[in-house]
Structure 1
Amino acid sequence: MTHATLTDQSITHSTKQDLFESPDFYDIDDLLTEEHKMIRQAVRDFVKKEISPIIESCAQQAIFPKDIVRKFGDIGAFGPTIPTEYNPNGGLDYISYGLMMQEIERGDSGMRSTASVQGSLVMFPIYQYGSEAQRQKYLPKLASGEYLGCFGLTEPDHGSNPGGMTTNFRDAGDHYLLNGSKMWISNSPYADVAVVWAKNEAGRIHGLIVERGMEGFSAPEIHQKWSLRASITGELVFDNVKVPKENLLPGISGLRGPLSCLDSARYGIAWGALGAAMDCYDTARRYAAEREQFGKPIAGFQLIQKKLAEMLTEITKAQLVCWRLGKLKNEGKATTAQISLAKRNNVEIALHIAREARQILGGMGITGEYPIMRHMMNLESVVTYEGTHDIHLLILGHDITGIQAFR
């Protein structure tokens, strides 16, 4: 199966109206500013207009809607916390960023992956660790969606152990020679820019900006995915790629660089998974009120009410975790372990809610008429990428005990 583009396969637009309403059992909106709520509403309206009508068709046919990249740029979904000097739509706080990711993943996890990779894994390291010339050259084009970016860390043999990477570069006079490969890279087949992490001759990890078109650089697509089917995923292959020396990120060396990027992305995932959970809950609640069995709506049966009550409870707890973590991020206090707790918990509850919602919908839950099965399949990737469920548990374990369970 090959990803089709908009030019060689048409996307069916659904006529079904997106009626999503966000649950807010603890009046958490009272903790948000008016700006937060305006940003959330703008992105929610965007999702209902631009994503919801096409996403089931895209997922069924494995089509990445490439024109969504420019549209994300137009609404400021790329790198919204980057200063306005480099991103005219930037300068927002981390709660705003979280709410944007929540609303986009409510539409689809693959769409949120496109946005969060661009902002947290490409724009963030260029802003945080890049030279001023690199910031001026790349950030405005990434912010607008003129450029699509990807992040090269994971390798075929080194996933949870990124420090074991074998991708390497060596000094070749006026340039570096880059060799190796990366695997499971969101956006890569269409990416114009890749932030690639590799080891120098001394074995020290550095970030390099690799551009599409550099000789020896290719990004083959990964086919036959059952998850994130509306997203584009591929490899990065480097065969003696000549990388200009000015493309080395000067502000960081060592594993701390890519791990700090992952912290930023994992923060967005915690909010995003909550959005997927909300969509599954809202879909199940509506369906239960309309579907009749034994002479009454199934919402009137105790076991259905139990499922819905437990879903709402977990969503409410996750909302409070996200809000508090957002406050900590705004204050520069959020730790890696705190972010791991939120990512791990929120993806876990989202997966459970998706499975319970699927049961409420019965056979209809597996069809593209409803978003449940698509969310469930997507979340099977989300629970693994940016740190697996178990790795995040061990990050927490290290924070609790002070003893590292893995190296």
Structure 2
Amino acid sequence: MSRPPEELADDVFSAHPSVFEAVFAHSPCAMAALDSSFRIVSANPALAELTGQSLDNCAGKLLPDIVGFLPASVLEAYQQALREGTSQRDLTFQVGQSPQHLFTTTAIPFGGTDSGSTGLIVMLGPAPGGPGRSGGSSERLASLSAALALALTEGDVSRVILEHVGPLLGAYGGALIQVLDEQALYMVGSFGYPSSIEDTWRQFPGDPGYPVVQAIRDRQPVFATVEELPERFPAIVPLLQPHTRAVAALPLIAEDRVLSALTLSFQDEHAIGAEDQGLLLEVARLCAGAMNRARRYDTEHQARERAGVLADASSLLSASLDVRKTLERITALAIEHVADWCSVYQPDETGRMWPVVVAHEDPQKVELLRSFLNRFPLIRRSTGPVPGLCTRANR
């Protein structure tokens, strides 16, 4: 027969001190034993790592002074645990203004007296399943990696990046910039910004006054708080959203080429702190690898498609002696694989070129296109082959 949890807990805490000390020392959760004034009697290595303090420096210090981010509501819950002798479990709280920094804490009283408990065992850590500063990063990176693995084309990869990176890193806004060369930069897409920004900055200026441009040129990530931006990147200051506290620009580099770059905006400057930059760089590495793979896929796919189109065109040209029917099939093939619309011209006795076959991907626009082309006939200026004209848009 199973025993009540309370009895099992009594056994644990009445066990030989070495058992508790082993659990305390090796727990991945930050733990501290406090006296009634919240002064640290003993701390474990996980707490020292969380706070950036040595174990020796933790001893004898007030926990709020060492941790530095405990809100008043948590301290009141600790006081309640001392007064009433009851545990306060899984208290979740936010650090700063960003939901990126969620933590949880549990306080277990010990040494009960008539006037209350004499101390607390306190545990601290990133909220389970939440986007804490360091907790859960492996799971979130695994989720991003899995989504990128399912993305075949560069367009697919770009969509995954724009959908996943913001929530993963706690960025309220961001943009993906495609790099053709140092002066030819294009915004592929964005998240969290007003639509007017994407419309205005579709062609991105190659001005080094923008963090993302410097990141691309130097092939190095750029991190800057809002206080640093006026001196380092004055061009971007007028464009900042009012709640921006920090920005990051991450070049996506693969095979010694900058493929694209991510620019991210944060409401909390701690999001680009030294302890979080490793996660940012790992995300950039994953995205760059996926984008490089997708570009190779696109190149191979386009080469296969081009070969298939040429083979189909050859078959069509040899399939019929009816010239008009053959041209109609060729233009249909062109709008299926190459262009949004296509026309084939033939000259009249004056040398003017008139469209004899017109095709459009939207059948309802064929006559409108034919009318437009007939208003502006071409002038044949050579005796070379009769030209066909294909044009391409939005592909």
TM-score (norm 1): 0.26
Q: Which has the larger radius of gyration?
A: 2
Q: Which has the higher helix share?
A: 1
Q: Which has the higher strand share?
A: 2
TM-score (norm 2): 0.26
